[in-house]
Amino acid sequence: MRRLKSETTAPPDFYRYTVPETGYRIEAVDSSTWEDKTRAHLTANGIPIPDNLRAIMQDQLCASLPPEYCEYHDGKWVDLRLDWADIVRGTKALVLAAVGGFVHQEEAERRANICRSCPFNVRVGSCTACKASKYLIGEIAKKSTSNDAKLLNCGVCKCSLLAAVHVPLDVLTSTDDPAHRELYPIEWCWKREGSVNYKA
């Protein structure tokens, strides 16, 4: 597992952990409070606390931290910063979907349920194109899911998850950066080929 090099200084955006079973995001400015809040949440929800909880939390956190903060085995990490290429890709995918059609509601709900509990369901900064895509999906296309309130941005592709869950997979794949394909978690991501959730 990946682990923090030091717990004396808070990493960028603080210590954070998304509980897989509930999708609840726990944040703290120090590591002790971080673990205490996680244990309290697991206990309150009747979820067994694993013996290696702290290691699990660090591994998840390090997946989105640069090498200066963590010790890696494979060198892979997800950069949560948004750049112009990310905006262009997301906009292109949304335009193609608007022309070719969206996925069925059942599939959008399936995807949203997976994304709400993903640790890469994060805020990636201010993005006018992301706000526009949310408006297009929600106000113009009238698309929504029961998990909309829990969907932010995908930390890997930087797209608005409110929009992405409605876009056909072939469209998302055709506009995605090939480098992203190895970063989508193979354990659960519906965008990752080989994942049990790749397709319904």
Sign of CA dihedral 199, 182, 109, 164: negative
Structural domain includes residue 197: no
**pLDDT at site 132:** 64
In a domain, 42, yes or no: yes
Domain count across the chain? 2
Residue 118 and residue 49 share a domain: no
Helices (H), the chain: 31-44, 53-62, 84-100, 105-115, 128-135, 161-164, 169-175
Q: Which domain holds residue 107?
A: 84-182
- Low-confidence winner among 10-19, 39-48, 106-115 (lowest mean pLDDT): 10-19
In a domain, 192, yes or no: no
Res 141: pLDDT: 64
Q: For 147, phi and psi rounded to 5 degrees? A: -110, 15
121 and 175: one domain? Answer: yes
pLDDT tens digits for 67-113?
Answer: 888 887 665 676 666 666 776 776 777 777 666 788 999 999 999 99
* 67/98 same-domain check: no
Lowest mean pLDDT segment, chosen from 55-59, 83-87, 162-166, 188-192:
83-87
Please tell me whether residues 107 and 162 are part of one structural domain.
Answer: yes
Residues 97 and 178 in one domain: yes
Looking at 45, 71, 97, the residue that finishes a domain is 71
Residue 98 maps to a domain: yes
- Examine the pLDDT at 8 and tell me if it is beyond 80: yes
Pairing of strands 15-18, 25-28: antiparallel
Position 79 in a domain: no
Q: Taken in order 186, 6, 8, 123, is the CA torsion positive or negative?
A: negative
Is residue 193, in this structure, part of any structural domain at all? Answer: no
Q: Based on the domain organization, do 48 and 95 belong to the same domain?
A: no
For the entire predicted model, the pTM comes to 0.71
Q: How far does the chain reach from its first CA to its final CA, in angstroms?
A: 30
- Say if 200 falls within a structural domain: no
- Mean pLDDT of the region 26-35: 94
58 and 120, same domain (yes or no): no
